[in-house]
A and B are shown apart, each in its own frame.
Chain A
Amino acid sequence: MSFMSPLLLLSALGVALPILAHLLNNHKYQETSWAAMRFLNQAIKVKSREIRIRDLLLLILRCLAILLLALVISRPLTEEGSALAEFGEKRVGVIIALDASYSMLHEEASKKRFDLAKEKVEKIVANLTSGDPITFLLLGMEHRVLLRNRAYQAGSFQELLDAQEAHPEALDLDNVPRRLKELVDEMDAPQKEVYIITDAQEQDWKTGASRLQYALKDLSERAKLFMIPVLGGHENLSMTNFEFLSGVLRKGTTARYSVAVNNYGSQPALAVKVSGKINNITVDNQLIPRIGPGEAETISLFMPFQNPGPAKISAHLPDDALSIDNVRRSVAIIRNKVSILCVENKGSGSFLTSALLAREGGATEKDYSVTSIPWISFPAHDLKLYDVVVMSDVPTITDDQAKKLDQFVRNGNGLIWLPGESTKWESWNERSKLGSAFLLPAKLEGLINTGGAMGIGRPLSLDIQEHSVSNPLRSLSEDLLSEARFLKVYQVDPSPNSVTLLKLAGNAYPLLLEHSHGRGQVFMFTSLAGSEWNNMALTPLFPMLLQQMVTYLTAREFEKPRLVGSSLKLSYVEEPDVTEAVFETPSGESLTVPVHSHKDQHSAILSQAEEDGFYLAMGTLQSPPLPIAVNVDTSESMVKCLNADDFSETFKKTGVNVIFNDEELDEALIDSRRTHSLWKFFAIMVCLIMLVESLLSSRLPKAKKSPVTQKGA
């Protein structure tokens, strides 16, 4: 016999109490004279032996009751086969961890893996006794504990189980053993069993096998560990990528989106139809003739935008065994037109304007305009009319202008900045500092001559940052890139959150930097497009970069699509007049989130998006709802399960019991539950003993015997 709380056995010392009471009782009495001794003596003669025996019996019963009570609170356990086992009851604490990642939604012969897993759970709990401690959790990116060390009640548990669904998220397997260990440790039960029910995805269980083995071995020393795989097929088509590729997100234009479709199955997928939708209206259909097993195919979808404003854009695959990964979403803010304000030191006619207009349709395009002005007249222009401002060789700006530009960029517009001969760099550094933030992505530190001894200048570094602006340059030939030579650049100190897109070869002087400012972006060159500075304007590089920048700044998606489980942020341009923002989930639920302010930045953050689909963020009561796309993590789409042999092999020598079918589960339940809890048996014994004690000591109510009476004759 073993004990769950052996220290409480010390309470058996309480047996001294009845013995002490017995001894004291026999030595403490009252005295009286008595006439009718003859009747007393007769009574005592009859009763004294009986009383002595009864007293002794009572003492023994009381001592026994205290000893048994000590046993009860120490919660004794016995193993199957021992003499006491048949008086005990099988009490077991159960922890059921159910994989609820979205791969469990894969359908196997008309039933989802998750539903098959729920049937396994029902089988496990069928043998539980009411009151057994149970912990039930769903595994995912975050492990949700639904019941924590609670007393099992069949009805309420079934209701809870029925209400559960898999979540649109991947499985964070690395954290599972640690989480289970915590739950095992806090469980209070004579015997603990842990059941992990999962579809045993190959990508999870094979890659992390050695780590898992170690962790699960540790866990199996604390509780009996059962691994119940719900294995199935692995045919699945998944849309793994959907992103804006090119074009302008402007009313009346068409943008190109790239779609990648993976075939994770073992059979080739033929004639896969991909549909593009804007605000749930199909606008394009493409057909992928064949996707080989394990291969991915990329196609383009063309999205024509008819209306300005935020657009919910999505790409869809036909339904298959796992349909949750057959759609990906994105959001774009469609503009009415694009206007660029070009502010230069000496007015128009520079390379800049030509480079900005070097596009299809040129300056005649009605929805695309470039306005060039000298910097002197900059204050007179209303920035609200423009989407992008280009400032080239502007000596300096006033504080007011700096604030105007700051507001302009924060509102979601773009700024492209180039230095020049007239640039007063110290003044720019000063004006650029706006509170704790900087308007420009780097601090200017003075002009440097990079012409070298030969005066031929320094070429671009071939180490080009991956960015949608600089990406086209990566595809250019090395010769073409090396044509551009730089004689003078400003040495800069990039701010921490800036990205250096281009730099010069050798000494790694940055040439082009970018950073986000509010909802907008700022690009900064460190060299002017002029012959004294470089020959960039004579190469295709300059117009290419400028065009990419304008496209990027105006065709930028409002918010990058998020993944389920990530946070959603709504930024405010100005301090809002509300304290709460509202996020509406794809299923229509409204979530209220407080607005936080930090260093003049105001935002409302929904800590976790739990559903996939379009969320709607409402910053204020008046503002129109802004959609935010939330997609599933495609890492879960590879639904291929480990085969039974590999699965068994994974848990060999770890003490984990792998159970493949119901018969094995039945046997395991019988074999594992060998510990019997005896406390109830002993508690009943205590009650019986106390009952007998009460009867013996005449404490129970009984008919009162009337005193001596005699009837008159």
Chain B
Amino acid sequence: MSTDHSKVEYLKPEVLKSLGNLEMIAKEIVSGQKVGAHRSNLKGFSSEFSHHRPYAPGDPIRDLDWKVYGRTEKYYTKLYEAETNFECHVLLDASSSMNYASGEVSKLEYSKYLAASICYLILNQQDTVGLSVFDSRLRAHIPPKSTMGILVEIEKSLREIESLPKDGLSKQLNDTALQLKRRSFVVLISDLLTDVDDLMNGLDHLKHDGHNVIVLQTLDPYELDFPFKGTWRFEGLETDEEVVTQPDRIRAEYLSNLEKHLEDVQKRCVGSNVDYLLLNTSHSLGTALSRFLQNRSIDRMSPTSGVSS
């Protein structure tokens, strides 16, 4: 896939922020991706599945495939084409920790653009997309729709939310799982600064319900590199803690802890067939989206992982 570099440069989060209108932002990002890639990207999202599965108690009797029964004397449930319509649900973490910004763009804003872009992409394919915003609990839920108006609703939802610290992701993910009626793509956008077991608990629930789960972890470059010099006082965004320290002295330990956490998340996502991508908020959104789409292997439906670069 060829890349228009001028466009990529234009898609820097700081520049996008100045655009203001989310639909316009999403359009800019997505149109940047579509240059020279007319067919390939969206193809990955079209879920053409029609197969049988063994009958399970509770399945409607009318869905039994009697022809197969006639040949094999075994019950199989037939999945109709009408149920295979593509539906995507974006979960956006809007907890306090997402407000951290070393530069102009916070993780939350970056995530917002990312969510809007994904929504735009899907809507552009005449598919449906829904959105949930959560912090310590589910704050807003926009059911799947197929109109661009959802972008306006996303912006409205985020504006109304007063960020609170999150105490875990499993609850929110479980809530989302309960609300999703159909098997969907679930895209989780969060900094994942939470307990990994708790996260995996929620993700496993989604996987168990048959959803395809994609995890996009957004982290600030300062969180990734910890390049502070001198003496600093750190005030916790999700706690009331305050720490005064000389960061350059504990940098190695910090990076080691962070790396351990990221490795843990990545390994366990792969283990649970969850797609995982680490995104640096200083990088271009277009690049991030491109990496996301490239890593998707919709045909095999197998999980992938990676970082945006």
Give A residues with C-beta under 8 Å from B.
25-26, 28-44, 46-48, 51, 54, 698, 705, 707-713
Residue of B224, B230, B239, B254 near A29 (CB, 8 A) is B230
Given contacts A37-B238, A710-B278, contact A42 B231 (CB under 8 A): no
CA distance A291 to B232 in the complex (A): 104
Q: When each residue 231-267 of chain B gets 1 if its CB lies under 8 Å from chain A and 0 otherwise, what string results?
A: 1111111110101111011111111111101110010
- Counted as pairs of residues, one from A and one from B, with CB atoms less than 8 Å apart, the total is 128
With a cutoff of 8 Å between Cβ atoms, the chain A residues found around residue B245 in the complex are 40, 44, 48, 51
Across the two chains, which residue of chain A brings its CB closest to B269? A713
CA distance A35 to B224 in the complex (A): 12
Q: How far is the CB of B243 from chain A (nearest CB, A)?
A: 6
Interface residues on B, range: 35 or more
Residue of B239, B250, B255, B266 near A44 (CB, 8 A) is B250
With a cutoff of 8 Å between Cβ atoms, the chain A residues found around residue B220 in the complex are 35
With a cutoff of 8 Å between Cβ atoms, the chain A residues found around residue B235 in the complex are 31-34
Q: How far is the CB of B264 from chain A (nearest CB, A)?
A: 11
Residue of B224, B243, B253 near A707 (CB, 8 A) is B224
State whether A37 touches B100 (Cβ < 8 A): no
Given contacts A32-B233, A41-B241, contact A707 B262 (CB under 8 A): no
State whether A35 touches B223 (Cβ < 8 A): yes
**B158 interfacial by beta-carbon distance below 8 Å:** no
Given contacts A51-B250, A710-B307, contact A39 B230 (CB under 8 A): no
With a cutoff of 8 Å between Cβ atoms, the chain A residues found around residue B234 in the complex are 32-34, 37, 40
**B47 interfacial by beta-carbon distance below 8 Å:** no
State whether A712 touches B307 (Cβ < 8 A): yes
CA distance A710 to B232 in the complex (A): 28
**B44 interfacial by beta-carbon distance below 8 Å:** no
Across the two chains, which residue of chain B brings its CB closest to A697? B249
CA distance A33 to B96 in the complex (A): 11
**B117 interfacial by beta-carbon distance below 8 Å:** no
State whether A32 touches B232 (Cβ < 8 A): yes
19 A–B contact pairs at CB < 8 A?
A29-B230, A29-B232, A33-B99, A34-B235, A34-B236, A35-B97, A35-B100, A37-B234, A39-B257, A39-B261, A40-B245, A42-B253, A43-B250, A51-B245, A51-B246, A51-B250, A705-B252, A708-B259, A712-B305
State whether A29 touches B231 (Cβ < 8 A): yes
Give B residues with C-beta under 8 Å from A.
96-100, 107, 191, 193, 220, 223-226, 228, 230-239, 241, 243-246, 248-259, 261-263, 266, 270, 276, 278, 291, 295, 304-307
Across the two chains, which residue of chain B brings its CB closest to A26? B231
Across the two chains, which residue of chain B brings its CB closest to A45? B253
Given contacts A30-B231, A42-B257, A43-B250, contact A712 B241 (CB under 8 A): no
Q: How far is the CB of B238 from chain A (nearest CB, A)?
A: 7
With a cutoff of 8 Å between Cβ atoms, the chain A residues found around residue B191 in the complex are 35
Q: How far is the CB of B260 from chain A (nearest CB, A)?
A: 9
Q: How far is the CB of A700 from chain B (nearest CB, A)?
A: 14
Residue of A28, A40, A705, A712 near B243 (CB, 8 A) is A40
Across the two chains, which residue of chain A brings its CB closest to B295? A712
Residue of B107, B254, B304 near A39 (CB, 8 A) is B254
Across the two chains, which residue of chain B brings its CB closest to A47? B250
Top 4 nearest A-B pairs (CB, nearest first) are: A712-B306, A43-B253, A35-B97, A29-B231
With a cutoff of 8 Å between Cβ atoms, the chain A residues found around residue B246 in the complex are 51
CA distance A43 to B249 in the complex (A): 10
10 further contact pairs, Cβ within 8 A, besides A31-B233, A35-B238, A712-B304:
A30-B233, A33-B100, A33-B237, A35-B96, A35-B193, A37-B239, A38-B193, A39-B257, A39-B258, A51-B246
